[in-house]
Structure 1
Amino acid sequence: MAQQHFLTQFSDKPRYNTKAVAQETGVPADTFRAWERRYGVPRPQRTEGGHRLYSERDIATIRWLRDRTAEGLTISQAIALMTDGNEANLSWLSTAVDTEPHTWERLNSRLFSALTDFDSTRAEQILGEGFALYPMEEVFLKLVQPVMVEIGEQWHAGRITVTAEHFATQFVRRKLSSLFNTYNITDGRGLVLLACAPSEQHDLGVLMLAVFLVRHGWQVIYLGPEVPVRDLIDTVRHLQPDIVAVAASTTESATQLLEAGRAITALPPPTPHFGYGGRAFNLNPMLIQRMPGAFLGRDAQEAVDTIADLLSASR
């Protein structure tokens, strides 16, 4: 069955509560609970206290059903289509999975057009299509991030207006902030403090890292753009995080991190790990040689893995 083949790429590990699923899919909780009662889809597991826990596979199923009903099918027709084993009816699913490079290119082009046309409704629909096909992290790394880089480059070249760039940035920031607030926890695998360099205004990459971390069970305190070094150090002394991660997109802002890194790594025990990353270090790896601490990687997923390795080694 094509639908079954499609779903096997998603984890069936139960980890998301009802509120998180409603936030990610845009489907009201009452709706997909009604689907569960009547049709047995999705299939959440339950905690000892009786609360539902959903997997990535459940979320993908809900998104797929949402999109089919949006196209005009009834929910019973959509579920029948999903489960009837008709390969012809579901050929678009296997095509989307098997021709991933073409699919990402198509999604990128459409999202770029929607954002530069100030069309948030269409942008939401395109993101929804991406989330229905791929895990959330892949959508941000292979769709949202490349599109935002392209928009930034087009703005610098004078091909799109600053208002279009601002609209796109705020659209993505709202999406990331919403996800961060949904998943953020008060206790977790460790405390990570995230910030941007003192003159760094571009914080989408750090906010994306914050979302990835909370989805992997880390407790995150996100300080945002333009954090002065002195205030950062005071906050580190007060909170005593396990790791301090800072970002810079330009050589100027990366240079400012030298002071922060030296001050943090010189703190008395318990001294937090100091990590850094951002576009400046990706474009100019020579900067890495000057920095104390650990380079976290070229993107948010690499940063998540590096942070896990740092804290695992220290424990």
Structure 2
Amino acid sequence: MAPQHFLSQFSDKPRYNTKAVAQETGVPADTFRAWERRYGVPRPQRTEGGHRLYSERDIATIRWLRDRTAEGLTISQAIALMIEGSDTSLSWLNTAVDTEPHTWERMQARMIAALTDFDATRAEQILGEAFALYPLEDVFLKLIQPAMVEIGEQWHAGRLSVTAEHFATQFIRRKLSSLFNTYNVTEGRGLVVVGCAPSEQHDLGALMLAVFLVRHGWQVIYLGPEVPVKDLLDAVQHIQPDLVCLSASTTETATQLLEIGRALQQLPPPTPLFGYGGRAFNLNPVLTHKMPGTFLGRDAQEAVENVASLLSRSR
């Protein structure tokens, strides 16, 4: 159905606040507010106090754009598609499309500067712009992940304080946790446990994988950093997941996964599959040679694809 005919079915009476729209659509508020700033879509009205109020038509518009971007279009392409199929009621969109070029390197530099300056407001704006332009997975793999690697390297080299690194990490963790809670399902394609090695404190990579998995329809139980071996084994026997995915960023924590992989194989049936990944294996691929289980790939996107392949074969 052409966008204008589809959208015309819905009321344009303003009724819903920002939180309600985010819950109804599953699209983070930062994202559709960035669409509004850059493209003029959606078009909420304002209360006397200046708060946005959205209509059912606005919600339908956000859902339509969400579905187009989920199909692989960028948001600018989705807006252009809406314009192409529109009548005069959407003609104002023609002047709203911003064709200013953006590069990942430019956005990375801006994000690093904002986070290391403790400027959450500016970081929110940069992230909102990125979500408005690109699919969520691309934003995390091509903007957030490289920016956090650079921040980590600056900290290791002594050019950045511990407090700045912690601020950046907590900012990104909040974003990932919010997305995980937005998309997480109680039933899905299969049950996956995600966490980190017993001494692994850096869990952003594991949390990113959890977000990517729930966005692809998997049910995920996220255990976070520093998961003790005994507690993990007890939980696995109780939960009976299809797959256990664990992350390690150093050689020391990667070695701990060797023990866990072997222990999982010794559990009574049904025995879950075991997958692993993380920076340690990317930097030193030889670590995978004696590791039980399956190396899931160099990033969260590869891991999602390998999880799907691994579980489809096992069934």
Query: TM-score, normalising length from structure 1?
Result: 0.77
Check conservation: 1:114, 1:123, Cα contact below 8 A.
yes
Structure 1 runs (4+) deviating above 3 angstroms are 26-38, 56-61
Corresponding position of 1:83: 94
Corresponding position of 1:70: none
Corresponding position of 1:92: 99
Counterparts of 1:134 and 1:187 in 2: how far apart (Å)? 28
Check conservation: 2:209, 2:304, Cα contact below 8 A.
yes
Q: CA shift at 1:90, angstroms? A: 4.6
* Counterpart residue type for residue 99 of structure 2: W
Counterparts of 2:30 and 2:217 in 1: how far apart (Å)? 17
Corresponding position of 2:26: 20
Counterparts of 2:207 and 2:215 in 1: how far apart (Å)? 13
Q: CA shift at 1:132, angstroms? A: 1.0
Q: Report the count of equivalent residues.
A: 268
Q: Is 1:165 aligned to residue 172 of structure 2? A: no
- Tell me the SS of whatever aligns to 1:55: helix
Q: CA shift at 1:267, angstroms? A: 1.8
- Tell me the SS of whatever aligns to 1:193: strand
Q: CA shift at 1:57, angstroms? A: 3.8
Summarize deviations over 1:9-33 as a string: whole Å, max 9, x none. xxxxxxx972412545254999498
Residues 155 and 135 of structure 1, relative CA distance in 2, 3 Å threshold: same
Check conservation: 2:23, 2:182, Cα contact below 8 A.
no
Check conservation: 2:30, 2:124, Cα contact below 8 A.
no
Segments of 5+ residues of structure 2 without an aligned counterpart are 1-21, 37-41, 45-51, 80-89
Q: CA shift at 1:109, angstroms? A: 0.3
* Identity, % of aligned positions: 65
Corresponding position of 1:124: 124
Counterparts of 1:33 and 1:44 in 2: how far apart (Å)? 16
Corresponding position of 1:275: 275
Residues 142 and 288 of structure 1, relative CA distance in 2, 3 Å threshold: same
- Tell me the SS of whatever aligns to 1:208: helix
Residues 1-315 of structure 1 mapped to structure 2, 5 A cutoff: 18-23=24-29, 25=31, 27=33, 31=44, 34=54, 37=57, 42=61, 44=63, 54-57=66-69, 60=75, 80-83=91-94, 90=97, 92-93=99-100, 95-96=101-102, 103-315=103-315
Counterparts of 1:228 and 1:83 in 2: how far apart (Å)? 56
Residues 24 and 269 of structure 1, relative CA distance in 2, 3 Å threshold: farther
Aligned-residue RMSD, C-alpha: 3.0
Residues 25 and 124 of structure 1, relative CA distance in 2, 3 Å threshold: same
Summarize deviations over 1:42-65 as a string: whole Å, max 9, x none. 2746xxxxxxx951449947x98x
Counterparts of 1:54 and 1:33 in 2: how far apart (Å)? 19
Summarize deviations over 1:209-257 as a string: whole Å, max 9, x none. 0000000000000000001111111111110000000010000000011
Residues 130 and 278 of structure 1, relative CA distance in 2, 3 Å threshold: same
- Tell me the SS of whatever aligns to 2:115: helix
- Tell me the SS of whatever aligns to 1:220: strand
Q: CA shift at 1:37, angstroms? A: 3.5
Summarize deviations over 1:122-175 as a string: whole Å, max 9, x none. 001101111111100000000000000000000011111111000000000000
Counterparts of 2:31 and 2:206 in 1: how far apart (Å)? 23
Q: CA shift at 1:83, angstroms? A: 2.9
Summarize deviations over 1:60-92 as a string: whole Å, max 9, x none. 47x98xxxxxxxxxxxxxx645235xxxx8562
Q: CA shift at 1:275, angstroms? A: 0.4
Counterparts of 2:30 and 2:188 in 1: how far apart (Å)? 21
Counterparts of 1:33 and 1:208 in 2: how far apart (Å)? 31
Counterparts of 1:284 and 1:166 in 2: how far apart (Å)? 26
* Counterpart residue type for residue 216 of structure 1: H
Residues 22 and 253 of structure 1, relative CA distance in 2, 3 Å threshold: closer
